[in-house]
Amino acid sequence: MRILKELIAKLAEGKSLSLEEAYSSCITMLKGDYDPIEASALLMGLRVKGEASQEFQGFLKALEENVIHINTTKKVIDIVGTGGDRLNTINASTLASIVVASMGIPVAKHGNRGFSSLFGSADFMEAVGYPIEHNASIASKLIDSVSFTFLYAPQYHLALKNIAPVRKKLGIRTIFNMVAPLINPARPTAQIIGTPNEKTANIISNALTGFSKRKYAIVTGYPGMDEVSPVGPTRVIIMKDSLQEEIIIHPKDLGLQEIPIESIIGKTKEEILKKDLEGLKGKDHAASIFIALNSGLTLYLIDEVRSIHEGFKKSLNQIKEGLAWRKLNEIVSEARRLVDIG
């Protein structure tokens, strides 16, 4: 506990922690070896100061060492948001993951229940009948059989339970909310990472440089959306083939009209779920466009297509042809069979 007290004093002076200090503080909290008041002060100190890249790296290293990994020989991808936009949009990342899987591309979708939203990825998967609390062995089998598994974060980040009471009591976003989504138990070779603001995107990009060799695209959509936005421009930091570039995706550049944000958000869980399902079926145009934009970027990142526009058109076709909807039903059916719940 002494280490936390010393680091709190450093943060109180407006100084950033070193990578090693951030790592040690995270390990201390993950072990449950802390005073709740001190842990709260440290997390709040990081939040108020603004988390630095090396602090992200320290927490990334600690969480990576404590996650339960999935054994798979497949090169999987992940589309994940870090949350915090509080817009209550449809579950575009999860739905885009299903679209990608419908093309036979292995996906290990890492997610949790809604923290800053009404209806998170785990809430959606559970609502459609998927048994989210299955184990790592079943996750591996699902990747092999249906090219998709959902990795419910609490099942794989067990050590986070030791800091959960403090995080719940604080009731605000902490560094854990931003770092944990990046540590996918299946070790994806490519990852789309959504952030609600450009500052966070820059920090994550700097943190991943040198820490991870995977391909990634860090997206921040208008108006503060942690996904590719159909409402306005989206800034994307892309890293692939050891080269980093920054691009702007605008709906108009893809031949699309901007979509009113009201058409892709919901005021209740039931409303969001309805739009989710209708979008995946191709029956809700705005939702389908939103989904296809995100899966389209994913296809571009992993070199399945030559442009984001091509990826978007290919994704939209999967939706319109009913292939994405069919894949969701196949995923749910196989997962339920494997856990023997019919």
CA–CA separation, 254 vs 309, rounded Å? 6
What is the token pair recorded at 133? 């609390």
Cis peptide before 36 (omega within 30 of 0): no
pTM for this one? 0.94
3-class SS at 210?
coil
Q: Which residues of 49-62 are buried (b: 16+ CB within 10 A; e: fewer)?
A: bebbbbbbbbbbbb
CA–CA separation, 117 vs 120, rounded Å? 6
Residue ranges of the chain whose pLDDT lies below 70: 1, 85, 115-116, 341-342
Going from the C-alpha of 237 to that of each of 34, 62, 205, 302, 321, the distances in angstroms are: 37, 25, 8, 14, 31
Strand-strand pairing, 190-194 and 243-249: unpaired
- Tell me, what's the pLDDT at 116? 63
Strand locations in the chain (E): 77-81, 107-111, 148-152, 190-194, 215-221, 234-240, 243-249
Residues in contact with 212: Cβ distance below 8 Å, sequence separation at least 6, in sequence order: none
CA–CA separation, 26 vs 293, rounded Å? 36
Closest CA to 151 of 141, 163, 136, 164: 136
CB 308 within 8 A of CB 275: no
Closest CA to 317 of 296, 339, 338: 296
DSSP secondary structure letters along 268-282: SHHHHHHHHHHHHHT
Q: What is the pLDDT of residues 150-206, one digit of tens each?
A: 999 999 999 999 998 998 888 888 999 889 999 999 999 999 999 999 999 999 999
Strand locations in 52-147 (E): 77-81, 107-111
What is the token pair recorded at 121? 């990825």
Q: What is the pLDDT of residues 270-304, one digit of tens each?
A: 999 999 999 999 999 999 999 999 999 999 999 99
- Tell me, what's the pLDDT at 118? 82
What is the token pair recorded at 285? 């145009």
- Tell me, what's the pLDDT at 115? 67
3-class SS at 31?
coil
